[in-house]
Structure 1
């Protein structure tokens, strides 16, 4: 498995794709991340065309087990961020 792309590498690749400098590409990436964070935290969803949909889902209260001790305890309801991958991305990865 290849190593994940770092933010620096992503900004450099984005700058090259945009024909812009790295500072502008970094600002664009930061703005997109801030928008996604704000929208999902407010309970909305963001669709990135060709990539997928990022959304927040609520999990109910449930019983969980500590694997080290085997002790069971009740975990409160919480929220979790999920992502559904777009079919176009799945198809491009699978050939």
Structure 2
């Protein structure tokens, strides 16, 4: 199966992503942390090793849903490429 990405920001050194956190547990969270791995792409070919960015996840109360819209910009963009988020990892704290 092939993956494909699209440029999400007019500035090719930046990307945007939205993530929705749904707390279906029986108590609220204290927040968390998010790591997004970013590749520089030319069409769908990776042209440079992965970089990463981090962000905080806000507390999410019991039964709440929180949507976060993120925009990140990175340095060192190779010519004719754009930044694309290719993997997300997160940790939620109780």
Higher helix share: 1
Higher strand share: 2
Q: Flag whether TM exceeds 0.5 (same fold).
A: no
Give TM-score scaled by structure 1 length.
Answer: 0.28
Report the structure number with the largest CA radius of gyration. 1
Give TM-score scaled by structure 2 length.
Answer: 0.28
